[in-house]
Amino acid sequence: MSVLAATATVAALLITSPSATDADRVAANGGFLLGNAHRCGIASDRVVRAGQLIRHLILAAAEDAREEEDATARFVRFFVVSAVADPAAAKAVASCQKVGKEFDRLERHRVVGNDPEVAAIGTTGAPFRLGDGE
């Protein structure tokens, strides 16, 4: 896929299905980041783990099953378009250096909850303390 075609496709996705909910925004941003991470050669197991984190974030942000389904479809569209962008034309695609930095930030995201399966995802960050942010 040419860079122009990939850019046009991403623009069309944004225009035809604007993100109206938090779940949509999580899905679009997550799909874009993970698709680019795949394109940039970040290890598949890391991308899969990050995808699980994005999935849980979509579930948390969605107000109902329909919103979850729409956001998941949006994630897939953005992932596919970003994963197959032409890396030879660096101007129109995200730089792998920036993608790597953002991907590392996502991996450090800490999930808080009672579900051990979810809590095992993204536990490399520093723990939240009650005085943080005050």
Quote the number of domains for the chain.
Answer: 1
- pLDDT of 109 reads 77
Please indicate, yes or no, if residue 102 is contained in any of the structural domains: yes
Note down the domain range covering 105.
3-119
Please indicate, yes or no, if residue 19 is contained in any of the structural domains: yes
**What is the pLDDT of the chain when averaged over all its residues?**
77
Please indicate, yes or no, if residue 93 is contained in any of the structural domains: yes
Please indicate, yes or no, if residue 134 is contained in any of the structural domains: no
- pLDDT of 126 reads 45
Secondary structure (H, E, C), the chain: CCHHHHHHHHHHHHHHCCCCCHHHHHHHHHHHHHHHHHHCCCCHHHHHHHHHHHHHHHHHHCCCHHHHHHHHHHHHHHHHHHHCCCCCCCCCCCCHHHHHHHHHHHHCCCCCCCCHHHHCCCCCCCCCCCCCCC
Q: What is the pTM of this model?
A: 0.69
Please indicate, yes or no, if residue 126 is contained in any of the structural domains: no
Ranges in the chain, pLDDT < 50: 1-4, 122-129, 132, 134
